[in-house]
């Protein structure tokens, strides 16, 4: 049990009126747990059949499932194989409502830790481009790991401020997701610490930041492209009022309807400027659905929108005093030039190519690059990355060491069931598999003795979990320490 901040409770009581008691009751109830299936590796129907624990479909997300609190999915080999992502049920909704199609250029602007980015990548089916960004370096590293766990090949992970990205990617993206930093009111049940950190001042500070992020996102959206804005808060200043101000400022943007569900609530024009178009927004309330609080708005840029330079100053957000506007400086503007990454692109020579080819499966050697002793699989050469801080473009494949190539964990996870590489498959219930995932070497059984020595892609029911090297019946562990299950 936790207590709501008194001023927050007063605001919600005024907003919800007769609904407030049932809303308050929902805040004290147990939160629900969910996972989202990685459709790059398995279909929802297949997962229902092979799931080692009971699951129940989330009705408004095609590949989402509820699971009970006494289950620990992160301790199962299927999690290590990237078959699913643990995600709060309502938080699955934004990525499910952005209509990504094959070949799109997609940006997730505030992407860490990767719940929405991994779903956007799955919807691309390995085509097009996903740029996943977070301004925090630590959070961007977590984002990269989750995308690698999902086996995403067509990604770029950047660690930049929105204004610097807008300067490099003007009108570049077909689809953009802005899951904006917010006051987190919709997550108080899940995270009581967020309730303790709440204040009216935080709401207004977040609203200011959200307005800036939206303006830069629009500058990166091509004419005809779609932008989905979402928050996990109930505050009108961060939701309807934010969208109303954005639409007033940019006449080439319009709200478009989303796929609905019986538990969704419409946006509230009366909480903003009265624009009836705001009813096309979606509100998710915990007392009306099996999930936490969320807000979504899907917008489209007009096909004939003119090219314009991204904005450098911003009007005040709702409720903010004008004299406070424009005082923020980009965090990236103070970043040392020494921290900016540039690519040194080379292709492997004939000897290197012969060493790496056995590990590639169906990956085309046409997309290979080496930088020093490291190898990468890069589908998208993006000159606009020059001068930007990014963590990864493509897949890190491994390293050449003393006339040999050692494959990486991200390469293992990027390989599918169809990739022709030497494999050693274990049942998910085999105790040797969990020992292997903990970083231990394991021994083959007598009936497995005829398996030839060498590098093996270790799999669970055919799904890759890492590399091992087999020598006279002993499978030596090649999973890096940071990837092991504790």
- 272: pLDDT confidence band, cut at 50, 70 and 90? very high
Helix (H) or strand (E) segment spanning residue 283: strand 282-284
Per-residue pLDDT for 331 more than 80? Answer: no
Radius of gyration, CA atoms only, the chain: 24
Q: What is the pTM assigned to this prediction?
A: 0.92
In degrees, rounded to 5, the angle at the alpha carbon of residue 306 between the alpha carbons of residues 302 and 309 is: 120
When mean pLDDT is compared across 326-330, 426-430, 455-459, the lowest value belongs to 326-330
Torsion, CA 462, CA 463, CA 466, CA 472, rounded to 10: -10
At residue 28, the pLDDT reads 86
Average pLDDT over residues 334-360: 69
d(CA 456, CA 423): 5
At residue 194, the pLDDT reads 86
At residue 416, the pLDDT reads 95
In degrees, rounded to 5, the angle at the alpha carbon of residue 480 between the alpha carbons of residues 478 and 483 is: 120
3-class secondary structure, 370: strand
When mean pLDDT is compared across 141-145, 348-352, 445-449, the lowest value belongs to 445-449
When mean pLDDT is compared across 286-295, 308-317, 356-365, 382-391, the lowest value belongs to 308-317
Average pLDDT over residues 108-131: 98
The candidate with the shortest Cα–Cα distance to 61, out of 46, 30, 39, is 39
At residue 314, the pLDDT reads 44
Between the alpha carbon of residue 103 and those of residues 37, 43, 124, 128, 433, the distances in Å are 21, 21, 7, 4, 37
At residue 2, the pLDDT reads 65
Q: Would you say the C-alpha torsion 379, 223, 131, 463 has a positive or negative sign?
A: negative
Between the alpha carbon of residue 117 and those of residues 94, 98, 146, the distances in Å are 10, 11, 9
At residue 73, the pLDDT reads 97
- Range 255-263, long-range pairs (CB < 8 A, 24+ positions): 255/280, 255/281, 255/297, 255/298, 255/299, 256/226, 256/280, 256/298, 256/299, 256/300, 257/298, 258/97, 258/282, 258/296, 258/298, 259/97, 261/59, 261/60, 263/60, 263/288, 263/289, 263/290
- 308: pLDDT confidence band, cut at 50, 70 and 90? low
Average pLDDT over residues 100-129: 98
Query: Which of 110, 182, 232, 281 does the annotation list as catalytic?
Result: 232
Percent of the chain having pLDDT more than 70?
A: 92
d(CA 244, CA 286): 24
The domains of the chain are located at 422-483
3-class secondary structure, 311: coil
d(CA 116, CA 100): 12
Per-residue pLDDT for 163 more than 60? Answer: yes
- The Cβ-side half-sphere exposure at 167, using a 13 Å CA radius, reads 12
When mean pLDDT is compared across 8-12, 129-133, 316-320, 374-378, the lowest value belongs to 316-320
Instruction: Please name every residue paired with 52 in a beta bridge, in sequence order, or none if there are none.
Output: none
Question: Where does 422-483 sit in CATH, by number?
Answer: 2.30.130.60
| Beta strands per DSSP E along 305-373 | 368-371
Better-predicted residue by pLDDT, 29 or 239: 239
3-class secondary structure, 460: strand
Average pLDDT over residues 351-359: 95
- 306: pLDDT confidence band, cut at 50, 70 and 90? confident
Instruction: Please name every residue paired with 460 in a beta bridge, in sequence order, or none if there are none.
Output: 426, 463
Max CA-CA distance within the chain? 77
- For residue 232, indicate whether it is catalytic: yes
The candidate with the shortest Cα–Cα distance to 231, out of 262, 267, 201, is 267
Inter-residue contact 214 to 242 (CB < 8 Å): yes
Question: Residue 287 — φ and ψ, nearest 5°?
Answer: -90, 0
d(CA 288, CA 277): 23
Give the chain's mean pLDDT: 91
Q: Indicate the DSSP class of residue 346.
A: B
């Amino acid at each position: 049990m936790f207590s709501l901040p008194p001023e927050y409770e007063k605001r919600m009581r005024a907003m919800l009126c007769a609904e407030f008691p049932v809303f308050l009751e929902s805040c004290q109830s147990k939160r629900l747990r969910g996972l989202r299936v990685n459709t790059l590796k398995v279909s929802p129907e297949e997962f229902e059949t092979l799931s080692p624990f009971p699951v129940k479909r989330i009705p408004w997300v095609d590949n989402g499932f509820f699971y009970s609190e006494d289950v620990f999915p992160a301790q199962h080999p299927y999690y290590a194989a990237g078959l699913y992502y643990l995600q709060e049920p309502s938080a699955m909704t934004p990525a499910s409502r952005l209509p990504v199609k094959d070949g799109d250029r997609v940006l997730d602007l505030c992407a860490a830790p990767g719940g929405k980015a991994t779903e956007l990548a799955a919807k691309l089916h390995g085509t097009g481009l996903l740029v996943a960004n977070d301004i925090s370096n630590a959070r961007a590293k977590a984002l990269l790991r989750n995308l690698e766990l999902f086996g995403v090949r067509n990604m770029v992970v950047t660690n930049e401020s929105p204004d610097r990205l807008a300067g490099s990617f003007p009108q570049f993206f077909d689809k953009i997701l802005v899951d904006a930093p917010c006051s987190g009111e919709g997550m108080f049940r899940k995270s009581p610490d967020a309730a303790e950190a709440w204040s009216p001042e935080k709401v207004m500070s977040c609203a200011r930041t959200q307005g800036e992020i939206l303006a830069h996102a629009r500058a990166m959206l091509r004419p005809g492209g779609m932008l989905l804005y979402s928050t996990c808060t109930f505050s009108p200043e961060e939701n309807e009022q934010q969208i109303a101000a954005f639409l007033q400022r940019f006449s080439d943007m319009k709200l478009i309807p989303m796929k609905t569900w019986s538990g969704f609530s419409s946006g509230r024009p009366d909480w903003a400027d009265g624009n009836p178009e705001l009813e096309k927004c979606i509100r998710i309330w915990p007392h009306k659905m099996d999930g936490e609080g969320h807000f979504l708005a899907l917008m489209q840029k007009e096909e004939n929108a003119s090219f314009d330079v991204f904005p450098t100053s911003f009007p005040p957000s709702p409720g903010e005093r004008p004299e406070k506007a424009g005082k923020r400086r980009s965090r990236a503007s103070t970043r040392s030039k020494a921290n900016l990454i540039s690519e040194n692109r080379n292709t492997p020579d004939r000897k290197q190519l012969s060493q790496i080819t056995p590990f590639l499966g169906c990956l085309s050697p046409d997309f290979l690059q080496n930088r020093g002793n490291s190898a990468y699989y890069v589908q998208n050469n993006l000159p606009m990355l020059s001068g930007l801080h990014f963590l990864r473009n493509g897949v890190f494949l491994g390293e050449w060491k003393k006339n040999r190539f050692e494959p990486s964990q991200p390469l293992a996870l990027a390989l599918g069931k169809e990739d022709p590489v030497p494999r050693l498959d274990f049942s998910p219930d085999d105790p040797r598999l969990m020992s292997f995932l903990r970083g231990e070497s394991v021994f083959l059984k007598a009936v497995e003795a005829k398996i030839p020595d060498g590098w093996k892609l270790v799999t669970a029911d055919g799904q890759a979990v890492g590399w091992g090297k087999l020598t006279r019946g002993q499978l030596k562990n090649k999973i890096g320490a940071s990837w092991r299950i504790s």
